[in-house]
């Protein structure tokens, strides 16, 4: 494959370099913000060597090349459209994320904002989740004495990410909101200060209350919480940006951080924090009621609909809800359901690979199925299943069946972000997760063969 030649052909089929506002790439796709998508030759792009599919979503036109290939194509593509290799800046001087958001509706922008905040934090939560899984095995099979130094230290390592979660979110959210990331971290630090009672792992401890000019301030920390710090840092960003407009440059470094931290700190402990805690608890309570009362039916519905939600881009906002579940419930029961929907697309793509006579489709469907089993579903969804429609419906059926099973058996995860085979590392019940995995995959495979599809000649 000649990556330079593909990049040059791609620019032409996108309507020329001036039609590309911004360019970036993720693990499998080119992500482009386009001036006029009507000028794109989508069919021509899908016929290019190495292209596994193309679609428009979340304000971006995305072209699937697959892991490794996308990096090599982007190396030649970026200079052709004037994008920076270092910071993925746009031709018009704004970030790729901002350029993409301009093309979205308000709800999609909100989902994308949450995604931008939580995606950088996922590695920390995944590491903590894997450690929790390891500790669970140690305790269940008596590999290590729970009172031993090794177990105690590993327990410290596993809980650290959740205890300082407000600091991590504060830093990431402040950067996303256009504020100073370190001030955001300070606000997160205030909300988990040692003077506040740490609720992490506590059940019936009562915090003391301070009398602040007639207001009762409950001295309870926000370790492990999400919504309180998100709301507080959003206010902080508004305060900081407002102050920078009016404070003279000569004293900006001294005055702006000083006032921002004091004002936002009071707002956090007196108003936004308690409101955010109630809101976060309310969300998890509603989900718990649905989960406990609807049971497998909820898994059936969520597992069947998740892939459709992915098409809208709204699934990016689920990370915040999942983090709240981890803090309040002690496990994430949504992620195993999402995993069933994802691996079902692998099963559907596998059926296409098994039955099709088209060599190009075989070349796409095989790697796409493997990618879906590893938790990356775009090649399977957009390159195979959605393209032929009925395999997408079959994947929804498989996802629904698998989702119903993992809810029925109360499968939970210790983290967020990992699905497919990698989720075995953070799941609390690997056996039933594996059975659900097989149900979703085989169900989608059989449904795809039964429904069939019409291939283009």
Q: Report the distance separating Cα 251 and Cα 234, nearest Å.
A: 24
Share of the chain above pLDDT 70, in %: 92
pLDDT digits (tens, 9 = 90+) for 83-101: 754 444 444 455 666 666 6
pLDDT in tens, 19-56: 888 888 877 788 888 888 888 998 899 888 888 888 88
pLDDT confidence of residue 171: 96
Number of neighbours of residue 110 by Cβ within 10 angstroms: 15
- Nearest-CA neighbor of 78 among 87, 53, 65? 87
pLDDT tens digits, one per residue of 118-130: 878 888 888 888 8
The confidence score (pLDDT) of residue 111 equals: 74
Handedness of CA 181, 183, 187, 192 (dihedral sign): positive
Question: What's the pLDDT tens digit per position in 369-426?
Answer: 998 998 888 788 888 898 888 999 999 999 999 999 999 999 999 888 788 998 998 8
Comparing 205 with 325, the larger pLDDT belongs to 325
Whether residue 180 contacts residue 238, with contact meaning beta carbons closer than 8 Å, is answered with no
| Range in 180-194, 198-212, 371-385 with the lowest mean pLDDT | 198-212
User: CA-based Rg of the chain, rounded to a whole angstrom?
Assistant: 24
Mean of pLDDT values over 352-358: 90
At 82, give phi and psi (nearest 5°). 80, 20
**Stretch 424-441: mean pLDDT, rounded?**
94
Q: Which residues lie closer than 8 Å to 397 by C-beta, 6 or more apart?
A: 304, 344, 443, 444, 447
> What ranges make up the beta strands (E) of 166-205?
none
- Residue 73: pLDDT above 60? yes
pLDDT at residue 345, rounded to an integer: 96
142 is catalytic: no
User: From the candidates 1, 26, 202, 286, which is the catalytic residue?
Assistant: 26
Residue 203 is predicted with a pLDDT of: 54
Q: For residue 88, what pLDDT is reported?
A: 43
> 325 or 184, which is more confident?
184
Percentage of the residues of the chain whose pLDDT score is greater than 90: 38
- Name the nearest CA neighbour of 13 among 75, 66, 80: 80
Enumerate the β-bridge partners of residue 56.
Answer: 61
The model carries a pTM of 0.74
């Amino acid at each position: 494959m000649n990556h330079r030649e593909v990049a040059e052909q791609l620019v032409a089929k996108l309507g020329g370099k001036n039609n590309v506002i911004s360019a970036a790439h993720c693990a499998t796709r080119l992500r482009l913000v386009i001036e006029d998508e009507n000028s794109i030759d989508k069919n021509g792009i899908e016929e290019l060597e190495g292209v596994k599919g193309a679609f428009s979503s979340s304000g971006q036109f995305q072209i699937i090349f697959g892991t490794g290939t996308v990096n090599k194509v982007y190396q030649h593509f970026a200079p052709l459209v004037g994008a920076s290799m270092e910071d993925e800046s746009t031709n018009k001087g704004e970030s790729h994320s901002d350029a993409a958001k301009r093309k979205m509706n308000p709800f999609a922008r909100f989902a994308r904002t949450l995604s931008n905040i939580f995606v950088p934090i996922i590695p920390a939560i995944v590491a903590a989740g894997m450690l929790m899984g390891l500790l669970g095995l140690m305790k269940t099979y008596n590999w290590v004495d729970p009172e031993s130094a090794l177990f105690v230290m590993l327990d410290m390592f596993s809980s650290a990410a959740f205890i300082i979660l407000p600091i991590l979110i504060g830093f990431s959210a402040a950067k996303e909101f256009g504020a100073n990331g370190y001030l955001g971290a300070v606000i997160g630090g205030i909300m988990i200060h040692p003077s506040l009672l740490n609720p992490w792992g506590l059940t019936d401890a009562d915090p003391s209350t301070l009398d602040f000019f007639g207001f009762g301030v409950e001295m309870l920390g926000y370790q492990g919480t999400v919504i309180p710090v998100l709301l507080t840092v959003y206010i902080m960003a508004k305060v900081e940006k407002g102050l920078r407009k009016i404070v003279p440059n000569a004293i900006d470094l001294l005055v702006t951080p000083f006032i921002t931290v004091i004002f936002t700190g009071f707002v956090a402990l007196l108003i936004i924090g308690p409101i955010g805690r109630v809101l976060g608890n309310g969300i998890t309570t509603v989900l718990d009621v649905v989960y406990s009362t609807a049971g497998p039916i909820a898994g059936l519905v969520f597992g069947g609909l998740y892939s459709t939600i992915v098409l809208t881009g709204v699934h990016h906002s689920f990370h915040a809800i999942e983090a709240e579940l981890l803090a309040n419930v002690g496990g994430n029961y949504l992620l195993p359901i999402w995993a069933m929907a994802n691996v079902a697309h692998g099963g559907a793509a596998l059926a296409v690979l098994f039955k099709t006579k088209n060599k190009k489709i075989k070349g796409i469907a095989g790697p796409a199925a493997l990618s879906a089993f590893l938790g990356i579903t775009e090649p399977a969804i957009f390159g195979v299943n959605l393209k032929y429609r009925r395999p997408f419906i079959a994947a929804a059926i498989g996802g629904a069946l698998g989702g119903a099973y993992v809810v029925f058996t109360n499968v939970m995860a210790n983290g967020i972000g990992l699905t497919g085979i990698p989720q075995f590392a953070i799941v609390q019940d690997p056996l039933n997760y594996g059975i659900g995995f097989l149900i979703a995959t085989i169900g989608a495979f059989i449904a795809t063969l039964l429904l069939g599809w019409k291939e283009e000649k």
